[in-house]
Amino acid sequence: MGIIDTDADPTWVTYPIPANDDSIRCIQVIAGVLGRAGEEGQKKRLEAARTGTVTWLPPPGLGRPEIS
């Protein structure tokens, strides 16, 4: 994941975020949004773990996860 503007090669990044990578304010906004999204995802994963809910299944052909 990376912030890409016109002077960068986007093929080096799996998840490019088009934005001005020279602007501190722009970086702060993007980092804040990604941080909050990560916190929310972590809360959901912890809640699912408490209830025993499987939130991820492997791609077809790899088998089902073992739940103990």
Kindly report, residue by residue over 14-62, the tens digit of the pLDDT: 999 999 989 999 999 999 999 999 999 999 999 999 998 887 777 887 7
pTM: 0.68
- Cα–Cα distance, 37 to 29 (Å, whole number): 12
DSSP, collapsed to helix, strand or coil, labels residue 16 as strand
Pick from 42, 41, 19, 43: nearest CA to 31: 19
CB-based contact 45:55 (threshold 8 Å): yes
pLDDT on residue 56: 78
pLDDT on residue 60: 80
Pick from 6, 33, 29, 3: nearest CA to 16: 3
